[in-house]
Amino acid sequence: MATIADVAHEAGVSISTVSYALSGKRSISPSTRDKVEAAASKLGYRPHASARMLAANRSNIIAVTAPLHADTDHSAHMQFAMEVTQCAREHDYDTLLLVHNDALEGMQRSAATSLADGIIVLDVDAHDDRAALARTLKCPIVFIGIPEDTTGLVCVDLDFEAAAEMAIDRLVAAGRNNIGLISHHQETLERESNFPLRFLHGFRKHAADSGVASAIAYPTEHRAHEAIAALLKELPDLDGLVLNTSADVAASVTAALAELGKSVPVDVSAIAAGVTFSTHRFPLALDTIPLDAHASCSVAVDMLVEMVEDGLKPPATTLIAPTYINFGSVTSSTASVIPQVN
């Protein structure tokens, strides 16, 4: 492997001149720079990453602030963190994961020390303190998630309101008019995690606009039994179910209904909507409107890199349209299968 000394010998200049020419730290005549670059190319020499980063005045690191909470879904948490990392590598950036409880301190340190060129914000709350801080920092920042006040922020996320509408429309098209929603645990909602609240809002509004009877239940354990009982108490004719909840709760829905003499999809058609997990390994696979971590993270990282390298600021909020995966858990009241929605 060629060294900087080899390049200096090939170009007929000093080692320091090669360093200056390739790092940009000092002004070098165009002819000398051309000789050095030609020698480096001929020998296949690549300067150390630290030199390249110094020349560009960048660290080539993206900080990812993703604090852990008592109610954090660790599987989804790491799925998003890993997707950001993989998308960043496609742009030749590394990532620095900030999981400390004091998320503000991590962001401030990254921006103040130029430790990172930009910041991705995960696990966003409706009234997230990081949103207010982001407005004061000069460092490029993109939120994967949408706080209540998006003024001055760049945000990317699934359109959860549209996902709720899609789920209800699918059930209504199948003749289901008594639709329940199993949401997240109250702890998550009280923390004001942004996406369950946005899904809840979309569900309530579209159910009312569609004229269907609806009810919402919140699991108290890691299973659906209590939530199903609560829904049936309010909606005795429950025939449609939307699951914007955790994987363990969603996976237990068919068993909870079976204990009450009801089956999916004939008695109750069910859809998992706005979720990061796949249902194909459930006892009965459920139709899914996925929260695709790759889709959100790739768009967010592309935007952040554009801000870092070109100084371009993308649209304030980018919503990713939901898609539908059909596993056959929604049928009409006569048990005929509804065509797949693309």
Q: How many domains does the chain have?
A: 3
Q: Nearest-CA neighbor of 78 among 218, 274, 252, 277?
A: 277
CA distances to 114, 122, 137, 297 from 99, rounded to whole Å, are 18, 10, 19, 18
What's the rounded Cα separation, in Å, for the pair 202 and 213? 15
CA distances to 183, 194, 205 from 273, rounded to whole Å, are 10, 15, 16
- On whether residue 206 sits in a domain, the answer given is yes
For residue 228, the model assigns a pLDDT of: 98
**Where do we find the tokens 């005929």?**
336
- On whether residue 86 sits in a domain, the answer given is yes
Q: Are residues 202 and 88 in the same domain?
A: no
For residue 69, the model assigns a pLDDT of: 67
Q: Are residues 70 and 138 in the same domain?
A: yes
- On whether residue 254 sits in a domain, the answer given is yes
Q: Are residues 143 and 260 in the same domain?
A: no
Which residue type occupies 306?
E
Relative to beta strand 178-182, strand 287-290 is unpaired
Domain of 52 in residue numbering reads as: 4-56
- On whether residue 81 sits in a domain, the answer given is yes
Q: Are residues 67 and 154 in the same domain?
A: yes
- On whether residue 339 sits in a domain, the answer given is no
Q: Are residues 150 and 48 in the same domain?
A: no
pLDDT tens-place values along the chain, 342 residues long: 677 778 888 999 876 677 777 766 567 788 888 898 899 888 887 665 445 454 556 788 999 998 876 666 667 878 999 999 999 999 989 999 887 666 677 788 877 777 889 999 999 999 999 999 999 998 999 999 999 999 999 999 999 999 999 999 999 999 999 999 999 999 999 989 999 999 999 999 999 999 999 999 999 988 999 999 999 999 999 999 999 999 999 999 999 999 999 999 999 999 999 999 999 999 999 999 999 999 999 999 999 999 998 887 888 999 999 999 999 999 997 644 444 454
- On whether residue 152 sits in a domain, the answer given is yes
Q: Are residues 283 and 297 in the same domain?
A: no
Q: Are residues 150 and 298 in the same domain?
A: yes
Q: Are residues 205 and 286 in the same domain?
A: yes
For residue 56, the model assigns a pLDDT of: 53
For residue 337, the model assigns a pLDDT of: 43
Q: Are residues 189 and 241 in the same domain?
A: yes
Q: Are residues 272 and 166 in the same domain?
A: yes
Residues 252 and 223: beta-carbon distance below 8 Å: yes
- On whether residue 281 sits in a domain, the answer given is yes
For residue 5, the model assigns a pLDDT of: 74
CATH number where 38 lies: 1.10.260.40
Q: Are residues 299 and 151 in the same domain?
A: yes
CATH number where 253 lies: 3.40.50.2300
For residue 61, the model assigns a pLDDT of: 92
What's the rounded Cα separation, in Å, for the pair 282 and 262? 17
Q: Are residues 98 and 73 in the same domain?
A: yes
- On whether residue 334 sits in a domain, the answer given is no
Dihedral of CA 49/50/51/52: which sign?
positive
For residue 268, the model assigns a pLDDT of: 98
For residue 298, the model assigns a pLDDT of: 94
Relative to beta strand 287-290, strand 155-158 is unpaired
For residue 50, the model assigns a pLDDT of: 47
User: Measured in Å, how far apart are the chain's first and last C-alpha atoms?
Assistant: 52
For residue 23, the model assigns a pLDDT of: 65
